Structure 1
Amino acid sequence: MRIQPSRPPRRPRGPIYLLIFVLLVAGVLYFLSRSASEVPLEPVETEIMVNAE
């Protein structure tokens, strides 16, 4: 009679991958919204030319 080593029951990994995917998508959307709000309304060259005159 062999004694089998006790292993914990295998948990499904689906929810973990889903959570990582959702966090990744949320991070990308947050980064894109932050970088989109930092775009100047007018080009920097126009501002420099106006200040030089």
Structure 2
Amino acid sequence: MSDPSPAGEQLQTPRLSSPRPTEADLATIFAIHRGRETCLHNPSDTLTRLDEMGTV
């Protein structure tokens, strides 16, 4: 299933407004999600390889 939201779209919640991640953000997202402290309470979210991320 593909994501219908185009890259560059704003993600909006009542407390957050953030640009949608793009391919350029993958290395940073990977660096965050491979850290033990980041996924301390949900270890199944820990990434060990870039190919586990899928695509943006």
Higher relative contact order (CA 8 A, sep 6+): 2
TM-score range for the pair, normalised by the shorter chain length: under 0.3
Q: TM-score, normalised by structure 2?
A: 0.24
* Structure with bigger gyration radius: 1
The structure with more strand, counted as a fraction of residues = 2
